[in-house]
Structure 1
Amino acid sequence: MEIATFKNHTPHPLNIYAPDTPDVVSDPEQGLLRTIEVAGQAARLTMDEQGNPFAVDGIPAQDVLYGRDAALPPEEPGVGIIVSLVSGLASAGGRGDIFVPYREVRNSAGTVIGCRALARPRTQ
């Protein structure tokens, strides 16, 4: 499938930076190429709690079965869907239109503020 445009299904606008932008920037405008606004419902994995809650060293824990995202839009010719890495890995191999942020850019506080590329996730 040839991709001509993207729809952002992460929970926030996605800043795309130039490939030579450093890993950490003090000015969030440095190297900024464009921002892809949110296009619809954020992709999220389904979660099904299994069994009873338990505790480990006083910390609550739960067995959870994670499934593919039921909220992904249907494939559209020429459109790539940007999702979080977790959703992308869950969908890897099933669709050729799924992309995730890659080569993240952080601000001086260490918060991810965008990426320098997109990746099409694949698993072995």
Structure 2
Amino acid sequence: MSISNLTPRVVRIYQADRPDGVDDLDLGLRQTFDPAPQPAALDPLPLVSTIQDDVPLELVEYGHADNLPAAREGVFLIVPIEVALALHPRRADLLVTHDGVTTSDGTVIGYRSLAQPT
């Protein structure tokens, strides 16, 4: 099994017991996944344009993504959550970040796990 990161930023995976509120990036670090040069992103398909209460309203289909390779046996892809949710349940190979790890100022620096949306 292999995992590729198709998000625009480094994904750090920490030990489950890594405490929040610590600024040390290396404490409990298990693995890092470097970002893709061209991250996966939704490619909305506009279907219908209307006006509702004097406001433009677009009916948009979100089931398409750019920079997302075809599924391959044994390969999982870390993608932004909106991509995974838009393509669920058609793609079982998509993973998202889960259970954020934060520094003393609340900045998310990584995650304790990856998740597979169901």
Same fold (TM over 0.5): yes
Q: Which TM bucket (shorter chain)?
A: 0.7 to 0.9
Query: What is the distance in 2 between the residues matched to 1:94 and 1:8?
Result: 19
What TM-score comes out, normalization by structure 1 length? 0.77
Q: Does residue 105 of the first structure (1) align with residue 101 of the second (2)?
A: yes
Match of 1:14 among 11, 18, 32: 11
The two structures, once aligned, show a CA RMSD in angstroms of 2.5
Query: How far 1:51 moved relative to its partner?
Result: 3.4
Query: What is the aligned length?
Result: 116
Distance 1:105 1:53 in 2: 43
Unaligned ranges ≥5, structure 2: none
For residues 66-108 of structure 1, give each alpha carbon's deviation from its aligned partner in whole angstroms, at most 9, with x where no partner exists.
5131321111221100001111111221111100001111222
Unmatched runs of 5 consecutive residues or more in structure 1: 55-59
- Give the structure-2-normalised TM-score: 0.81
Q: Indicate the percent of aligned positions where both proteins have the same amino acid.
A: 34
Is the contact between residue 43 and residue 72 of structure 1 (CA under 8 Å) also seen in structure 2?
yes
What code does the residue aligned with 2:77 have? I
Runs (4+) off by over 6 Å: none
Structure 1 residues 51, 79: CA separation in 2 closer, same or farther (over 3 Å shift)? Answer: same
